[in-house]
Chain A
Amino acid sequence: MSSSLLFVLLVALSVLAFQLGKARAIAVVGGLRGVRDLHSLPGHYGLLTAIWCGLPALVVFALWISLQDVVITQLVLADLPANAMAQSAQALMLNDLRNVVAGNVPAEMVAESTRVAAAEYLKLQRIAQLALTVVTFAVGIAGLLVVRARIRPDLRARNAYERVIEWALFACSAVAVLTTIGIVLSIVFEATRFFNIVPITEFVFGTNWSPQMAIRADQVGSSGAFGAVPLFAGTLLISFIAMIVAVPIGLFSAIYLAEYAPLEVRKVVKPLLEVLAGVPTVVYGFFAVTTVGPALRVAGEAFRLPVAGESALAAGLVMGIMIIPFVSSLSDDMITAVPQSLRDGAYALGATRSETIRQVVLRAALPGIVGGVLLAISRAIGETMIVVMAAGLAANLTANPLEAVTTVTVQIVTLLVGDQEFDSPKTLAAFALGLVLFLVTLLLNVIALYVVRKYREQYD
């Protein structure tokens, strides 16, 4: 029986278990009239039965599927006479074996021993599948019967079921947290390997970035230099330009929307701004490349300024536009959260609208707005698509926004695009850059969340 069919049958069995458990619960109290004598609702008994029928069976199913291949391969290999052959030969044979089993290669094209092994493999696989079916159903039905037998009026089915739900929710959050920890650990691990080859001081303080490594010993040039300062500088320059665009425009539009705009305008403009936040960054990217970049160059020519085709200015401007809704939406939330009583207090003293906003409302909302801006900065630093398309690859160490610069994210992309070997400093450098990026944005987010939370405590 195929695995997917088995899975469907398992679900059907659980549904059946639900019905059986529910019917049993009603039966033990002598029909629907007796339901009030049950500790929980009949449905809860049904759910409990279904859970104990389905969950253990599913766990067995999942473990079996994930381990089956490894176990069978080991068994097949153990049977082979050429057990002592070299590792590389064994790997090669295993590859052939898999191809034959999967039907990619006709059996006649491989060695005799492999053909035998493949047949053995297929046989074991059939047995395993059959065993899996039997075992899974046995577990499921056993669970069903045990729980059904234990259904009595005083069985606290609701509490037991709630506890299972709690564990299920915990498992989901654990997946998110564990994945994050796994990613961080892998970055840290790979970055450590990089720092074993390239000294951390060179990476942090070096001003020359040229990650191409010589592949052959006699190759000229491309010695590989991993001074990341130009990358950090480029990232900061572009983020800075982006914030110069996004913070004033975002903040002022938030003030207008929250304090001045008539309800009808607010109803239209606010969703529109949020649509702007939903535009994929790659679209902003080609907007930067095809429109803003050339426009800046033309404008530069008018002033006799040399503007590079891919300039920090173009990338920064477009990134700023991308972040405007982010800043505006967060600031708007913070401004509308300022209690009306504060505004009334200022108005009652004879403050005008703009005095009230500048000196009272913004003052009260400031911590929240600062938190929002910090979050926006961390987004700008981590933003990739726009800079990949519009900022260029040249690692220039410059403060001139008209020149091309490169950023940490762009370099990570370039280092990892295409065929890679994962033991050269060139690829490992991407992990070191990723680590820096991760630490910086983590720090910014922690500060921002702290500031925002502190602000919330004040007014709730």
Chain B
Amino acid sequence: MNETAKTPPVAPSSKTIGTVTVPEPVFSCRDVDVFYGDKHAIKKVNIDIGRSQVLAMIGPSGCGKSTFLRCLNRMNDTIVGARVEGMIQLDGHDIHDKRQDVVQLRARVGMVFQKPNPFPKSIYENVAYGPRIHGLAADRAELDEIVNTSLRRAGLWEEVKDRLNNPGTSLSGGQQQRLCIARTIAVNPEVILMDEPCSALDPIATARIEDLIDELRESYAICIVTHSMQQAARVSQRTAYFHLGDLVEVGETDKIFTNPQAKLTEDYITGRFG
């Protein structure tokens, strides 16, 4: 967004295999720890997230990938007893800085959830909600324009253009998820976080969302948590493998899936557990 951020140095104690840094990162995370009460959910994670690319996070259930994702827009703040330590920089600025307003952070870092969660409002109002609360549109015409563009980019416009006033919950699961993506795009974020966005969808709806992710990559940095290794291989350029709160390995998706360096990664990818 503003000046090119420099990549902060990674502490030599990092045990992660592969290249965690990228040039000109959107996010730089250094030695990030997350605790739920006494439970140490994320342990000293170092990773950069690059522009115009998709980073897939994979790993067995409970490995902390979703928890890490929720650190990036500070959604863990809403969980009682959750504590995040370490440094997370967005465009070179610490997101835990006192001057950083969490509301503005979340406008810049959008999120799509596992289960589609449209608001109990019309399709139009679902998309218009973000622009409204952030005052992005000066008048109704401008708002219409934002809603229109967002629905088009989410590939939903043709299906809903005649029924914008129907409730968002009246759509099918896959359409609801695209509505949630449109809602996220509408506030014009820099990064989109996706927490298993296809796990509640059928294969056809999943394929549509994956196509959409590929298109959106041109304009946004995307972080996706997924349980499907095929999905990670299809949509991402970089892949990070988490295991029990550790970031085990990061690298180009092709390399991770064809030639993993860590034993744990190999075992997981070849289906020995998980």
The answer to whether A343 and B78 touch (CB under 8 A), given A348-B111, A363-B121, is yes
Where chain B touches its partner, the secondary structure class is helix
- Cross-chain contact A360 with B119 (CB below 8 angstroms): yes
Bound Cα distance from A359 to B73, whole angstroms: 21
Within 8 A of A (CB), among B124-175: 129-130, 133-134, 169
Contact stretch, chosen from B9-17, B29-37, B99-107, B220-228: B99-107
Interface size on B, residues (CB 8 A): 27
Bound Cα distance from A347 to B106, whole angstroms: 8
Query: Is A458 on the interface with B (CB-CB < 8 A)?
Result: yes
Bound Cα distance from A343 to B105, whole angstroms: 17
Where chain A touches its partner, the secondary structure class is helix
- Cross-chain contact B106 with A348 (CB below 8 angstroms): yes
- State how many angstroms separate the Cβ of B225 from the closest Cβ of chain A: 14
- Cross-chain contact B169 with A345 (CB below 8 angstroms): no
- Cross-chain contact B117 with A349 (CB below 8 angstroms): no
- Cross-chain contact B113 with A345 (CB below 8 angstroms): yes
- Cross-chain contact B119 with A350 (CB below 8 angstroms): no
Query: Is A263 on the interface with B (CB-CB < 8 A)?
Result: yes
Query: Is B89 on the interface with A (CB-CB < 8 A)?
Result: no
Residues in B whose Cβ lies below 8 Å from that of A341: 113, 115, 117
- Cross-chain contact B130 with A349 (CB below 8 angstroms): yes
Q: Which of B78, B120, B169, B187 contacts A349 (CB 8 A)?
A: B187
Query: Is A364 on the interface with B (CB-CB < 8 A)?
Result: yes
Task: Find the A residue at minimum CB distance from B130.
Answer: A349
Residues in B whose Cβ lies below 8 Å from that of A204: none
Q: Which of B73, B115, B134 contacts A348 (CB 8 A)?
A: B73
- Cross-chain contact B119 with A345 (CB below 8 angstroms): yes
Bound Cα distance from A351 to B132, whole angstroms: 10
- Cross-chain contact B187 with A350 (CB below 8 angstroms): yes
The answer to whether A350 and B75 touch (CB under 8 A), given A263-B80, A341-B113, is no
- Cross-chain contact B120 with A363 (CB below 8 angstroms): yes
The answer to whether A344 and B75 touch (CB under 8 A), given A263-B80, A349-B183, A351-B133, is yes
Bound Cα distance from A223 to B238, whole angstroms: 94
Residues in A whose Cβ lies below 8 Å from that of B78: 343-344, 347
Interface size on A, residues (CB 8 A): 20
- Cross-chain contact B119 with A347 (CB below 8 angstroms): no
Query: Is B110 on the interface with A (CB-CB < 8 A)?
Result: yes
Task: Find the B residue at minimum CB distance from A360.
Answer: B119
- Cross-chain contact A350 with B133 (CB below 8 angstroms): yes
Q: Which of B104, B107, B119 contacts A346 (CB 8 A)?
A: B119
Query: Is B184 on the interface with A (CB-CB < 8 A)?
Result: yes
- State how many angstroms separate the Cβ of B63 from the closest Cβ of chain A: 21
Bound Cα distance from A360 to B129, whole angstroms: 10
Query: Is B180 on the interface with A (CB-CB < 8 A)?
Result: yes
Query: Is A274 on the interface with B (CB-CB < 8 A)?
Result: no
Within 8 A of B (CB), among A29-70: none
Residues in B whose Cβ lies below 8 Å from that of A364: 119-120
- State how many angstroms separate the Cβ of A19 from the closest Cβ of chain B: 55
Residues in B whose Cβ lies below 8 Å from that of A351: 103, 129, 133
Task: Find the B residue at minimum CB distance from A346.
Answer: B119
Residues in B whose Cβ lies below 8 Å from that of A345: 113, 117-119, 180, 183
Within 8 A of B (CB), among A313-364: 339, 341-352, 355, 359-360, 363-364
Residues in B whose Cβ lies below 8 Å from that of A458: 120, 169
Residues in A whose Cβ lies below 8 Å from that of B113: 341, 344-345, 348
Task: Find the A residue at minimum CB distance from B180.
Answer: A345
Residues in B whose Cβ lies below 8 Å from that of A348: 73, 75, 106, 110-111, 113, 184
- Cross-chain contact A349 with B184 (CB below 8 angstroms): yes
- State how many angstroms separate the Cβ of A454 from the closest Cβ of chain B: 13
Bound Cα distance from A301 to B111, whole angstroms: 60
Bound Cα distance from A341 to B112, whole angstroms: 11
Bound Cα distance from A350 to B129, whole angstroms: 10
The answer to whether A360 and B187 touch (CB under 8 A), given A348-B113, A349-B130, is no
Residues in A whose Cβ lies below 8 Å from that of B130: 349-350
- State how many angstroms separate the Cβ of A288 from the closest Cβ of chain B: 40
- Cross-chain contact B120 with A350 (CB below 8 angstroms): no
Residues in B whose Cβ lies below 8 Å from that of A339: 117
Task: Find the A residue at minimum CB distance from B101.
Answer: A350
Bound Cα distance from A350 to B121, whole angstroms: 17
- Cross-chain contact A350 with B169 (CB below 8 angstroms): no
Residues in B whose Cβ lies below 8 Å from that of A355: 133
Bound Cα distance from A263 to B80, whole angstroms: 10
Task: Find the B residue at minimum CB distance from A351.
Answer: B133
Residues in B whose Cβ lies below 8 Å from that of A349: 106-107, 110, 129-130, 133, 183-184, 187
Q: Which 7 residue pairs of A and B lie closest in terms of their CB atoms, listed nearest first?
A: A348-B111, A350-B107, A350-B106, A341-B117, A345-B117, A349-B130, A364-B120
A-B contact pairs, 8 of them (CB 8 A): A263-B80, A342-B117, A344-B113, A344-B117, A345-B119, A348-B113, A350-B106, A360-B120
Sample of 4 further A-B pairs with CB below 8 A, known A342-B120, A345-B113, A364-B120? A348-B184, A349-B129, A349-B130, A350-B134
Chain A interfacial positions (CB closer than 8 Å to B): 263, 339, 341-352, 355, 359-360, 363-364, 458
